[in-house]
Amino acid sequence: MKSREAIFANIRKSLRVSSDDRLRHETVTARIQKHPRGIIPARGQKPDRERLELFRQMVESAKASIAILETKDDVPTAVAAYLRSKNLPQSIRHGDDARLSLIPWAKERALEVTKGASDGAQLASVSYSFGAVAESGTLVMVSGADNPTTLNFLPDHHLVVVDERDIAGDYESVWDRIRLSFGANKMPRAVNWITGPSRSGDIEQTHLLGAHGPRSLHVLVVRNS
Amino acid sequence: MTQPVNSPQFKENARKALDDAYLQKALARSEKGFIERRKAAVEKLPEYDALRDNARDLKDHILAHLDLYLEAYERNVIATGGHVHWAATAEEANEIIFGICQRLNAKAVAKGKSMISEETGLNSYLEARGIRPIETDLGEYIIQLRGETPSHLIAPALHVTKEQIEADFRRAHTELPPERNLDEPTSLLAEARAMLRDKFLNVEVGITGANFLIAETGSSVIVTNEGNGDLTQTLAKAHIVISSIEKVVPTREDAVTFLRLLARTASGTDLSVYTTFSTGARRDGDPDGPLEYHVVLLDNGRSNMLGGKFQEMLRCIRCGACMNHCPVFHAVGGHAYGWVYPGPMGAVLTPSLVGVEQGGQLPNASTFCGRCEEVCPVRIPLPKLMRNWREREFERHLQPAFARYGLGIWAAFAKRPALYRRATSLAMKFLRLFGGKGRLRALPLASGWTRHRDFPSPQGETFQSLWKKRSGPR
């Protein structure tokens, strides 16, 4: 604790402030409580149809692939088709998310579906995204049993379902939804923004896909959920 | 200060760097890519400059209220079951981390990329006490195999060529068949991925840095393209975040302001692949995630910079754009700077953190061209801050006698305009006599300059005489 006190004392000495300045406390409390938005780029501020189109473009420019489906019932066929196109076994793993459990996986008879977190042995996982951001083609995942964080990182192929109505123009709108779901200043243990598949530029600044996380990312947008 | 400082040898380091053919090849390749990618990303965002103004003002607001935002941050980390440890010095930060590792009987720790851990010399500290640190960022992994330190903030292995990496991998991964083909960068990447996967799954402790700390929620934020930081912190029993006190931001919205700038400026992408907000340890019902969450907050001289001539340096978000655009960095690379932080930001920060006696050489390694300030996402006036250091170095008589006499002679002329004008036009005629219309390959007393580049022979007249002709007599 000695260092803690020393650091705070030194900060206040350098700033020439005291710890009981009411105005400073009020300023800080107000900013945290009101969490004002900064500048939001016009790019993402589009009506529904155009926002989906922007999201599609941004996802693809981040080197992920995307399929736009009419209903949730189309998900199994789209997943099976993806696995075939990558020469992968017909096998996926997903978490406890009720929205995933309601998907009629049995439509694809060859598709093996297991549930739970990843231990690194799975080649493909399916997650349901909390939200998404059109501005940069970003998926917003939240941790928990519904969509375990390891499914985002350990399998070679990550497939993510997102409802069209959850695709926001900007990050700020998703923060507001997180506040509604988890509480004013609360967060799930992990919030993962994911923009494209894992990559590295560390070998002579050439961008190569498939560093430590998934080698490919496939996004499935459900229009009517 | 645990990481040894080699900055007083800057001149010698620079000379060696200029003669290093491998390094020169690596530097030449990197320069264009960084500059062009940033430019393209910035042009696609019309709000970029307005965001920079916002970010600068926001950082100034944070620094003016740093004590209170840190208190709020600490409260919220504790409220989510996390632990906050305060370290006034590098040594203390290392001790705290070692203590946690010891309690958990850790034999090895996985590490995400962290410049603060470079600053404290954490790896050698742990190694000396029997704990093996494993760097997991590809660039950091490469330089760890080579026994080197990072030469760039976001591209630690910038100075290494593909052929060197292949040789390092063959030397280190002796369990793999020696006849394997590693010609392509993709095979090198695949090999590193396979080697590290097993490590991620078997370490007790994962250590990451933090790009930001959010006071509102007690969250730490990391930004990576590889996903290594996420595997590091998700799979270990304990996640330790090592960060410095100026990384705190008020809210999630404020973090977004910086995130919109960071990747664009650093690597020319709208956003890095993975931006992760971590808040506390595994919760009830969570099937994965660390069982313990610790944050080690390092001061190490930063609180002394507040309220003074160098406070603006604390706005830095470590994007690396200043070095990507620096002609001196392009010529000598990052290691020549002799400590953790290279380029223009390092030239200002190093003397602040290790003292002007040891870091005072670095602010002299600038042409004051101003590109660093032009591209800085939080508008740090880097040339001004370097000038502040030069003045301080001069005041404290820390320069070599040769430089002081040189400045004295120049000042004697500069204070006498008539004499100055006569002397410069004479010098110009003299130089032209030898150089003609071309370039001078050698100059008496200036071999330091001409050894690595030609000196342009002066053309026409002096600026002052041209100006006089243009505007007529006053």
- Asked if residue A176 has pLDDT above 60, the reply is yes
Does a structural domain hold residue B393?
A: no
Q: Which residue has the tokens 């110009």?
A: B428
Q: Is residue B355 a part of any domain in this protein?
A: no
In a domain, B206, yes or no: yes
Mean pLDDT of A85-100: 98
**Same-domain status, B436 and B293:** no
Of B302, B321, B338, the last residue of a domain is: B302
Question: What is the sign of the dihedral through the CA atoms of B466, B469, B473 and B474?
Answer: negative
In A, minimum Cα distance to B37 occurs at A205
B58, A39 contact by CB (below 8 A): no
Stretch B422-449: mean pLDDT: 77
**Of B302, B321, B344, which marks where a domain is finished?**
B302
Q: How far apart are CA B470 and CA B454, in angstroms?
A: 30
Give B118-159 pLDDT, tens digit per residue: 999 999 999 999 999 999 999 999 999 999 999 999 999 999
Residues 14-33 of B with CB under 8 A from A: 26, 29-30, 33
Question: Do the interacting molecules here have an ipTM over 0.85?
Answer: yes
Tell me whether residue B113 is in a domain: yes
The partner residues of A221 in beta bridges, in order of sequence, read: A68, A162
Could you tell me how far CA A92 lies from the centroid of its own chain?
A: 19
In chain B, the number of structural domains is 2
User: Token pair of B79, please?
Assistant: 């409220």
In a domain, B397, yes or no: no
CB within 8 Å of B110: residues ≥ 6 apart: B134, B136, B199, B200, B203, B205, B206, B207, B231, B232, B235, B236
Q: Do B289 and A7 touch (CB under 8 A)?
A: no
Average of per-residue pLDDT values in chain A: 97
Domain check: are B158 and B279 in the same one? yes
CB contact under 8 A, B225 and A199: yes
A136 interfaces chain B, CB cutoff of 8 Å: yes
Say if B308 falls within a structural domain: no
B235 touches chain A (CB under 8 A): yes
Q: Do A28 and B68 touch (CB under 8 A)?
A: yes
Q: In chain A, where are the structural domains located?
A: 1-36, 45-224
B274 touches chain A (CB under 8 A): yes
**Residue B458 — very low, low, confident or very high, per pLDDT cuts 50/70/90?**
confident
Q: Tell me the percentage of chain B whose pLDDT exceeds 70.
A: 99
A125 in contact with B, Cβ within 8 Å: no
Question: What angle separates helix B48-64 from helix B66-79, to the nearest 10 degrees?
Answer: 90
Is residue B259 assigned to a domain? yes
Structural domain of residue B108, as residue ranges? 7-302
Cα distance between residue B237 and residue B221, in whole Å: 19
B298 lies in the same domain as B438: no
Q: Which residue of A has its CA nearest to B161?
A: A204
Is residue B474 scored above 60 in pLDDT? no
Helical segments of A154-200, H only: 171-182
- Chain B contact present for A143, CB below 8 A: yes
- Interval B384-396 mean pLDDT: 91
Phi-psi region of A196 (alpha: psi -120 to 50; beta: other; left: phi over 0): left
Torsion-angle region of A182 (φ positive above 0: left; ψ -120 to 50: alpha; else: beta)? alpha
Give A182 to chain B, closest Cα distance, Å. 11
In terms of domains, do B428 and B296 share one? no
Residue of B251, B287, B306 with shortest CB distance to A31: B251
Would you call A124 an interface residue with chain B, using a CB distance cutoff of 8 Å?
A: no
Are the beta carbons of A203 and B92 separated by less than 8 Å? no
Strand partners, B208: B241
Residue A189 to residue A212: CA distance in whole angstroms: 21
Question: A45-224 domain in CATH 3.40.50.10790?
Answer: no
Mutate to test the interface with A, among B243, B271, B310 (most CBs of A within 10 A): B271
How far is residue A79's CA from residue B278's CA, in Å, rounded to a whole number?
30
B70 to chain A, any CB pair closer than 8 A? The answer is yes
What pLDDT is stored for residue B405 in this prediction? 83
Residue B418 to residue B67: CA distance in whole angstroms: 55
Give me the helices (H) in A62-194, please: 75-85, 98-101, 150-153, 171-182
- Least confident range of A20-29, B78-87, B170-179, B441-450: B441-450
Q: Find, in chain A, the residue whose alpha carbon is nearest to that of B256.
A: A171
What is the DSSP pairing of strand B274-278 with strand B219-224? Answer: antiparallel
Nearest Cα to Cα of residue A193 among B179, B256, B86: B256
Q: Does A183 touch chain B (CB under 8 A)?
A: no
Residues of A in contact with B308 (CB under 8 A): 14
Q: Specify if B312 maps to a domain.
A: no
CB contact burial A16-52 (16+ within 10 A = b; e otherwise): ebeeeeeebeebbeebbeebebbbbbebbebeeeebb
Q: Do B275 and A192 touch (CB under 8 A)?
A: yes
Do B264 and B138 share a structural domain? yes
Q: Phi and psi for B126 in degrees, rounded to 5?
A: -65, -45
With an 8 Å Cβ cutoff, is A27 touching chain B?
yes
Task: Count Cβ–Cβ pairs < 8 Å, chain A vs chain B.
Answer: 259
Give the span between the Cα atoms of A127 and A157, in whole angstroms. 11
Q: How many CB atoms lie within 10 A of CB B419?
A: 12
